[in-house]
Amino acid sequence: MKIRKPDDFHCHLRQGKILQTVLPYTTKSFARAVAMPNTNPAIGTAEEMLRYKEEILRAIPHRTKFKPIMGIMLTRNTLRETIRQAVKAGAKFLKYIPRGVSTNSSESVPLEDLDIYYPVLCAVRDSGMIFSAHWEFSDDGRISELGREHSAINFLGDVIRHIPDLKIVVEHASTARMIDYVKRAPDNVVATLTAHHACVTYNLVCNEKGKIINPFLYCKPICKRQHDVDAVVGAMTSGNPKFFFGSDSAPHPIEAKLKAEPAAGIFSAPIALRLLNKIFHQCGVPERLENFVSKFGASLYGLPYNESTIELPEGPFEVPKEYDGIVPLFAGQTISI
């Protein structure tokens, strides 16, 4: 089965050697990808964004057509002028992770202080940029990881009420409550969905005391209970244009995943499209996959649909145990369509 070549609207490509290792797996399946700017250090200005774009372009495999979609990170130093300069340099989105919630967010703003930056978000709205945000509230660690996405909904609601025309992408929605909220929200509020939140349940990641038992399945937001997984699958396969694909493929070296406090992130790029194909077939709606991966996100970002096509992977596939020191999702397992 052939479909229009997809896009990945949430991807961590990293830098340096890791970028060179993982980028070919994204470019093989996707024509474009949102290159998240929460690198180390975070990309917070137009100049930094352009340097990162050049690094990505240099790493693209020979004769491969691929375009990174670039943006900057909301940090404590972001001003309205920062947004103006970023848009002029080609930025499509402003990325937000509440400080301390996930990888490389130490330069960011606490969720409870986000209202201070509403003038910046107004500039984002006026420029036509997208506000792409990781909605979790930890309350300095007092809220369990299972409850952090739900606890952030009130903050999301405040942004919607104060800046109603702002295009908001709820990144990697992982709970039934968030998915239901997005469904009922205005049309300018949408969400990306990952393959791993549609396949992995909390009990595969942690025991009932919250101790991580499989660091290679540990990510933020953490994978949830079965009813949440079912909600992700339901939204993904529904044909609702409010939901589109963002892999949140987030590679880390093996040693970083095996620390006492494992790095958060799942490397899914090599098998994401294969997993999605399996999910849509299991749900009996393979014809809806193209819209989910190739059209809905492009429409939200104001991008033309890709003209090239790709043959969807089928048949059994044994996932390698690692890719040059990076363990992928379902390493060593066989995926069958």
In contact, 169 and 130? CB cutoff 8 Å: yes
Distance, CA of 329 to CA of 204 (rounded, Å): 12
Average pLDDT, the chain: 97
Rounded to the nearest 5 percent, the helix, strand and coil shares of the chain are: 40, 15, 45
User: What is the predicted pLDDT for the residue at 136?
Assistant: 97
Q: Band of the pLDDT at 131, cuts 50, 70, 90?
A: very high
Inter-residue long-range contacts of 96-99, CB under 8 Å, 24+ positions, other chains counted: 96/131, 96/132, 96/133, 96/134, 97/38, 97/73, 97/133, 97/134, 98/134, 98/136, 98/137, 98/138, 98/152
pLDDT band at 35 (very low <50, low <70, confident <90, very high): very high
What's residue 102's pLDDT?
84
Answer yes or no: is pLDDT of 104 > 80.
Answer: no
Could you read off the pLDDT of 70-93 as tens digits, one per residue?
A: 999 999 999 999 999 999 999 999
Considering only 89-93, 122-126, 208-212, which range has the smallest mean pLDDT?
Answer: 208-212
Cα 94 to Cα 63, 75, 146, 276, 303: the distances in Å are 30, 10, 26, 27, 17
Q: Cα 219 vs. chain centroid, distance in angstroms?
A: 11
Contact indicator for 49, 78 with CB cutoff of 8 Å:
no
SS3 50: helix
Average pLDDT over residues 233-239: 98
Q: What is the mean predicted confidence (pLDDT) over 35-60?
A: 97
Pairing of strands 309-311, 243-245: unpaired
Asked whether residue 106 carries a pLDDT value surpassing 90, the answer given is no
158 carries an active-site annotation: no
Q: Are 27 and 64 in contact (CB under 8 A)?
A: yes
Average pLDDT over residues 91-107: 89
Cα 273 to Cα 5: distance, rounded to the nearest angstrom: 11
CA distance 304 to 2: 19
So what's the pLDDT on residue 313? 86
Over residues 34-52, the mean pLDDT reads: 96
| pTM as predicted | 0.97
Q: What's the average model confidence in pLDDT over 232-243? A: 98
* CATH number 3.40.50.150 is the correct assignment for the domain at 2-335: no
Beta-sheet pairing, 167-170 with 189-193: parallel
Three-state SS at 47: helix
The lowest-confidence range among 50-54, 140-144, 151-155, 236-240 is: 140-144
How many Cα atoms occupy the beta-carbon half-sphere of 47 within 13 Å?
0
Alpha carbon distances (Å) from 278 to 93, 105, 128, 235, 250: 30, 34, 35, 15, 21
Give the span between the Cα atoms of 223 and 206, in whole angstroms.
Answer: 9
> With contact defined as beta carbons under 8 Å apart, do 279 and 236 qualify?
yes
DSSP helix/strand/coil, 318:
strand
Q: State yes or no: pLDDT of 307 exceeds 80.
A: yes
Q: Where are the beta strands (DSSP E) in 23-73?
A: 32-35, 67-69, 71-73
| Alpha-carbon span 270 to 91, nearest angstrom | 27
Stronger pLDDT, 63 or 319, i.e. the higher one:
319
